[in-house]
Amino acid sequence: MFAQVDVLLLPALPAPPSAVHDKTIKLGELELPVLRAMIYETFLLNMCGAPVVTLPDLQSTGGLAESVPFGFQIAGPHRPTIEVLSFSTVVASRLGAGGSTHSTYPA
């Protein structure tokens, strides 16, 4: 896929973040444990070792990171991670996040 595109822009969460004490999240007909639901969209890319940066959607909240309803991830191919980080910095600055990004790397 990365032969045709430089990066992928994908959702990071399948639903808005849960309340602190919630044990499960309902996704359509599925009811999943919170942790499983929160890694539902990011697990595959992390297991493949792809460099991934997640960003909150600050436009829909007027720049208030505390009340972010969802986020998205920017994933790149297995080549210098700096390309994904550089692209995410540009996207974050356009969304009003400054340089605030959270990157995930394979263990």
Phi/psi at 84 (5° precision) = -70, -40
The domain locations on the chain are: 8-104
Which residues share a beta bridge with 104? 52
- Per the model's pLDDT, the better-predicted residue between 30 and 17 turns out to be 30
Sheet containing strand 102-104, strands side by side:
8-11, 71-75, 52-56, 102-104
Is residue 63 pLDDT above 70, yes or no?
no
Give kind and range of the element (H or E) at residue 35: helix 34-38
Of the pLDDT bands very low, low, confident and very high (cuts 50, 70, 90), residue 100 is very low
